[in-house]
């Protein structure tokens, strides 16, 4: 639960004069409660969890690009990426946002920050303190008196607040027909096509349960060879059931006055191929192969899952965070939020060894990174150590090397200070 005062403390008061923001189709931009009953399906829940469990492994990093080289930056932005707020770790923050996105098709994240202003230049700089994903029940897009786009959040407890849209991080999913929101025209997921498949799946499961219950209702028929009244028949039946339940050796003694004929159980179940077809049809809505759900997948299957399903979500979240956390000037200097998927890549032991053999000669990996990749703990004596092959040469000097010309190689002792060099 986010303290209510945080919103207005940061973003000041709601605009006094406001009107609904215009839309291209003429509809008022009012978006009510999200959600749908599709999430009652166990297959849907397992499918979404597959995606969420992968996205929560991401490593969000503040980097500054110099040409094409991303350099990690120590900043208050990196601080909140490492610990978004007092309630959540980075993994929990990503998990929360991912669930909200897949269930509502929209995530709103409120950044908490202090503003420092240079009195001489007038330049403003933000010092970030926290990131909070919120769960409003109704959202209205409005304009203030100056024409700036604002967003009004109304919560289940009746509290509402209005913020400048430029100060709200908005992560959208299936951004299509609505001008402001992901999902359908009303800002909610459109699952009409999926509901028919889920209904079919539920009916099949209910049919299986009913067939199994019916098959176990009657175990057999007891035929009495003499005429007896109802009371005596009931008494004899109770005695027969007692013998049946109390038999420890598997044999059931009966006398000549009754015959017992067991009924053959022939439960008609839905074949496995049909169940698999239905499951795959549901999973295709989120681009999840059945092998991924079952946890029995190949490297190729996971790569396809990553490229088709995970990577678009990673890119869109990276861009949503970059768009709102940096000023235009900061973005012009190459500041970005990148979500590195290091922990997502599935590799077998053999594939890990192949990766290490490829990267090790280049000096791209620290020695402890190699140990961690193999499941071994890092060693203090290897901290900061990287080794590379000497059988490499600067591509610009390759021709000189081949023609036997002298090559000038500058060697710098990194242990010396800049003055000593």
pLDDT higher than 50, residue 421: no
Provide the domain count of the chain: 2
Tell me the pLDDT band of 106, cut-offs 50, 70 and 90: very high
Residue 231 and residue 89 share a domain: no
- Which of these three, 263, 295, 317, is where a domain ends? 263
Q: Does residue 96 sit in the same domain as residue 243? A: no
**Most confidently modeled range among 19-28, 172-181, 193-202, 224-233:** 172-181
Rg (CA), the chain: 33
Structure tokens at 95: 């998990």
Q: Are residues 69 and 36 in the same domain?
A: yes
Same domain, residue pair 121 and 168: yes
At residue 77, does pLDDT exceed 70? yes
Quickly state the pLDDT bin for 101 (edges 50, 70, 90). very high
Q: What is the pLDDT of residues 275-312, one digit of tens each?
A: 676 777 777 878 888 888 888 888 888 888 988 999 99
Residue 240 lies in a domain: yes
Asked if 116 and 253 sit in the same domain, the reply is: no
- pTM of this structure: 0.67
Residue 47: Cβ-neighbour burial (10 angstroms; 0-12, 13-18, 19+):
buried
Name the range with the highest mean pLDDT among 99-103, 114-118, 352-356, 362-366: 99-103
Return d(Cα 4, Cα 286) in angstroms, integer.
Answer: 35
State the greatest distance between any 2 C-alpha atoms of the chain, in Å, as a whole number: 118
Residue 99 sits in the same domain as residue 34: yes
What DSSP element (H or E) covers 261?
Answer: strand 258-262
Q: Are residues 140 and 247 in the same domain?
A: no
The candidate with the shortest Cα–Cα distance to 62, out of 318, 274, 278, 263, is: 318
CB 189: neighbour CB atoms within 10 A?
22
Same domain, 138 and 230: no
Please check the confidence at residue 395 and state whether its pLDDT lies above 50: yes
- Angstrom distance (rounded) from CA 345 to CA 355: 12
Shared domain for 233 and 92, answered yes or no, is no
Question: Above pLDDT 90, what percent of the chain?
Answer: 27
Last residue of a domain, one of 289, 308, 339: 339
* 35/132 same-domain check: yes
Residues 104 and 149 in one domain: yes
Q: Which of 189, 192, 190, 196 is nearest to 278 (CA)?
A: 196
Domain that holds residue 255: 219-263
178 burial level (CB within 10 Å; 0-12, 13-18, 19+): buried
Q: What is the pLDDT of residue 95?
A: 97
Q: For residue 210, is it within any domain?
A: no
Per-residue DSSP letters for 16-67? SSEEEPP-TT----EE-----GGGGSHHHHHHHHHHHHHHTT-EEEEEEEET
Mean pLDDT of the region 19-32: 48
316-351 burial, b if ≥16 CB within 10 A, otherwise e? bbbebbbebbbeeebeeebbbbbbebeebebeeeee
**259 and 288 fall within a common domain:** no
Tokens of 274: 């049909």
């Amino acid at each position: 639960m986010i303290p209510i005062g945080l919103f207005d403390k940061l973003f000041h008061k709601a605009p006094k004069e406001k009107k609904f923001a215009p839309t291209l189709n003429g509809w008022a931009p009012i978006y009510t409660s999200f959600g749908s009953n599709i999430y009652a399906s166990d297959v849907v829940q397992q499918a979404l969890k597959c995606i969420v469990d992968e996205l929560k492994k991401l490593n969000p990093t503040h980097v500054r690009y110099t040409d094409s080289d991303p350099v990690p930056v120590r900043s208050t932005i990196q601080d909140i990426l490492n610990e978004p707020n007092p309630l959540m770790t980075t993994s929990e923050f990503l998990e929360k946002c991912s669930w909200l996105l897949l269930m509502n098709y929209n995530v709103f994240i409120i950044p908490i920050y202090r503003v420092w202003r240079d009195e001489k230049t007038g330049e403003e700089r933000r010092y970030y303190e926290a990131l909070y994903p919120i769960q409003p029940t109704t959202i209205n897009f409005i304009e203030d008196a100056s024409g700036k786009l604002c967003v009004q959040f109304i919560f289940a407890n009746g509290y509402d607040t209005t913020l400048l849209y430029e100060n709200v991080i908005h992560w959208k999913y299936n951004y299509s027909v609505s001008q402001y929101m992901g999902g359908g025209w009303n800002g909610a997921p459109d699952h009409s096509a999926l509901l028919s498949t889920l209904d079919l799946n539920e009916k099949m499961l209910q049919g299986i349960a009913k067939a199994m219950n019916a098959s176990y209702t009657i175990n057999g028929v007891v035929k009495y060879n003499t005429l007896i009244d109802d009371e005596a028949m009931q008494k004899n039946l109770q005695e027969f059931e007692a013998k049946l339940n109390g038999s420890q050796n598997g044999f059931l003694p009966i006398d000549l006055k009754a015959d017992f004929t067991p009924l053959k159980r022939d439960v008609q179940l839905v074949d496995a191929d049909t169940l698999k077809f239905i499951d795959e049809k549901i999973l295709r809505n989120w681009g999840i192969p059945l092998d991924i759900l079952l946890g029995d997948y190949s490297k190729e299957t996971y790569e396809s899952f990553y490229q088709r399903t995970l990577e678009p979500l990673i890119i869109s979240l990276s861009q949503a965070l970059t768009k709102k956390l940096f000023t235009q000037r900061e973005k012009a200097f190459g500041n970005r939020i990148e979500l590195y998927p290091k922990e997502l890549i599935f590799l077998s032991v053999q594939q890990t060894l192949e990766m290490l053999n490829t990267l090790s000669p280049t000096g791209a990996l620290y020695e402890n990174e190699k140990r961690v990749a193999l499941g071994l703990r890092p060693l203090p004596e290897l901290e900061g150590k990287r080794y590379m092959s000497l059988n490499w040469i600067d591509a610009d000097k390759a021709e000189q090397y081949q023609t036997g010309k002298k090559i000038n190689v500058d060697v710098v002792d990194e242990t010396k200070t800049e003055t000593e060099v």
